[in-house]
Amino acid sequence: MNIKSSQTLVLEALKEIKTITAKQALKLANEEKCNLIDIREKAELDKTGRVESSHHIPRGMLEFWLDSNSPYFKNGILDMDKEIILFCAGGLRSALAAKSLKEMGFEKVSHIEGGFASISQSDFKIV
């Protein structure tokens, strides 16, 4: 049995996806050119706060909420003409999630290097 490690999966994802900095994400958010999606668990948001301009979609529901054929589809929560920018706490889950969305057919997808840890050190407003 050949099981890939989570580290290997993340490294493979990083080769296939677009990674941006918190500063680049802030610029896109300020210009209203993206959907900023926080994929952390609700308990993480409750503990550390959330980014003011972000949408919360838990990692476990991401593909289901964005699949129009899913019974869990959340119509209208995102502007599908804008880039989807994902972030988690540190950038690992968001890398895997970005790869998954690309595999679903989403073209304008990226994730924030360093996740919420980088965001909280930038000029994003945390509420």
Where does the pLDDT of residue 1 fall: very low under 50, low under 70, confident under 90, or very high at 90 and above? confident
Give 39-94 pLDDT, tens digit per residue.
999 999 999 999 998 999 999 999 999 999 999 999 988 998 999 999 999 999 99
* Predicted local confidence at residue 72, as pLDDT: 94
Tokens found for residue 127 = 């509420």
Among 18-22, 78-82, 107-111, the range scoring the smallest mean pLDDT is 78-82
- Residue 116 to residues 14, 50, 85, 126, Cα–Cα distance (Å): 17, 9, 12, 10
- What is the C-alpha separation between 58 and 102, in angstroms, rounded? 17
* Predicted local confidence at residue 107, as pLDDT: 95
CATH no., domain 17-119: 3.40.250.10
Q: What is the pTM of this model?
A: 0.96
Query: Residue 14 is which amino acid?
Result: L
DSSP 61: G
> DSSP of 21-52, one letter per residue?
-HHHHHHHHHTT-EEEEE-S-HHHHHHH--BT
Calculate the average pLDDT of the chain.
Answer: 96
- For residue 121, give every residue at least 6 positions away whose Cβ sits within 8 Å of its Cβ, in sequence order, or none: 22
* Predicted local confidence at residue 77, as pLDDT: 86
Mean pLDDT of 17-43: 97
The H or E element containing residue 15 is helix 6-16
The answer to whether 106 touches 15, Cβ cutoff 8 Å, is: no
Q: Where exactly are the structural domains of the chain?
A: 17-119
